[in-house]
């Protein structure tokens, strides 16, 4: 059986490549999606890659992941630091979720140090730029293999 994972991206990530490249790097979201597609093929899994600037759409995508995907990689962007709704959605879907950030949120402004996602995620990857996505995919596939 082929496993499927959801890679879900939050607000402003559609602007990657032009948005604060000194913080987020020159890589576009399309570049990251292409990187993830290649990694999924290498891992023998299927992948759905989505982005939304709207909190409710991210919640809906998490709800829809139940019964469809084996796990989720979530770059919630700024909602990481504000969204109880995303935290509750993750708690409700009973799927493993990895929290992902391009920058090291712990080395940035103090308000970015608090994550509402971390307490309900199986782990967090931050600070590795676009390379964090394939790292997260490896980690999620390893976790799913261990969970069997």
Q: In whole angstroms, what is the distance from residue 118 CA to residue 21 CA?
A: 25
Cα–Cα separations (whole angstroms), residue 101 to 10, 78, 81, 148? 10, 10, 12, 27
| pLDDT tens profile 77-131 | 999 999 999 999 999 999 999 999 998 888 777 877 899 999 999 999 999 999 9
How sure is the predictor about 1, in pLDDT bands with cuts at 50, 70 and 90? very low
What is the structure's pLDDT at 35?
97
| pLDDT tens profile 10-42 | 999 998 888 777 777 788 999 999 999 999 999
Q: Are 11 and 24 in contact (CB under 8 A)?
A: no
| pLDDT tens profile 50-72 | 999 999 999 999 999 999 999 99
Q: In whole angstroms, what is the distance from residue 121 CA to residue 74 CA?
A: 9
How sure is the predictor about 2, in pLDDT bands with cuts at 50, 70 and 90? low
For the chain, what is the largest distance between any 2 Cα atoms, rounded to a whole number of angstroms?
44
* CATH number of the domain to which 96 belongs: 3.40.50.9100
Total of domains in the chain = 1
Question: What is the sign, positive or negative, of the torsion defined by CA atoms of 137, 124, 105, 85?
Answer: positive
- Can you tell me which residue has the tokens 């989505």? 50
Active site residues: 24, 101
- Count of all residues that appear for the chain in the document: 148
Residue span of the structural domain in which 96 resides: 4-147
């Amino acid at each position: 059986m082929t496993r499927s994972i959801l890679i879900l991206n939050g607000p402003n990530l559609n602007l990657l490549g032009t948005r604060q490249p000194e913080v987020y790097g020159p890589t576009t979201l399309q570049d990251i999606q292409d990187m993830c597609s290649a990694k999924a093929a290498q891992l023998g899994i299927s992948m759905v890659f989505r982005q939304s600037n709207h909190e409710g759409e991210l919640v809906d995508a998490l709800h829809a992941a139940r019964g469809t995907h084996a796990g989720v990689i979530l770059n919630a962007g700024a909602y990481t630091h504000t969204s109880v709704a995303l935290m509750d959605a993750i708690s409700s879907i009973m799927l493993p979720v990895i929290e992902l950030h391009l920058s090291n949120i712990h080395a940035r402004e103090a308000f970015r140090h608090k994550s509402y996602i971390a307490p309900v995620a199986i782990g967090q990857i931050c600070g590795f730029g676009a390379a964090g996505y394939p790292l997260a995919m490896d980690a999620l596939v390893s976790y799913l293999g261990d969970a069997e």
